[in-house]
């Protein structure tokens, strides 16, 4: 019988994460939206519990992105 071996994944290697701008003083990370959006959208669609864990956390986004999102919500209302 073949013996299986499991390894613990500790995240990406430090040299792999080149697009992340870490600011250690306030434990925040700045990343391009395109880098996290697919994973976040998939997690929300799949109903992953960890998404709800962060539901009350505030995020900072550019004002123009906020305006686009608000306009999208306004014009994307379901019809009666």
Residue 35's nearest CA partner among 15, 55, 21 is: 21
**pLDDT for residue 15 is more than 70:** no
d(CA 1, CA 41) in angstroms, rounded, equals 41
Mean pLDDT of the chain: 82
pLDDT of amino acid 25: 55
Q: If you search the block for the tokens 């019988």, which residue do you land on?
A: 1
Q: If you search the block for the tokens 């299986």, which residue do you land on?
A: 4
pLDDT of amino acid 3: 73
Instruction: Report CA-CA distances (Å) from 27 to 20, 21, 79.
Output: 13, 11, 43
> Residue 51's domain spans which residues?
21-75
Q: Give the confidence band of 77 by pLDDT, cuts at 50, 70, 90.
A: confident
Number of domains into which the chain is organized: 1
Has residue 47 been placed in a domain? yes
17 CB burial (10 A radius; 0-12, 13-18, 19+): middle
**pLDDT for residue 52 is more than 90:** yes
Has residue 56 been placed in a domain? yes
* Whether the model pTM is above 0.85: no
């Amino acid at each position: 019988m073949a013996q299986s071996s499991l390894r613990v994944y500790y995240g990406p290697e430090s040299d792999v994460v080149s697009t992340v701008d870490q600011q250690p003083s306030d434990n925040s990370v700045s990343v391009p939206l395109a880098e996290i959006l697919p994973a976040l959208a998939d997690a929300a669609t799949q109903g992953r519990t960890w998404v709800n864990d962060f539901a009350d956390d505030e995020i900072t986004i550019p004002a123009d992105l906020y305006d686009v999102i608000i306009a999208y919500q306004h014009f994307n209302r379901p019809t009666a």
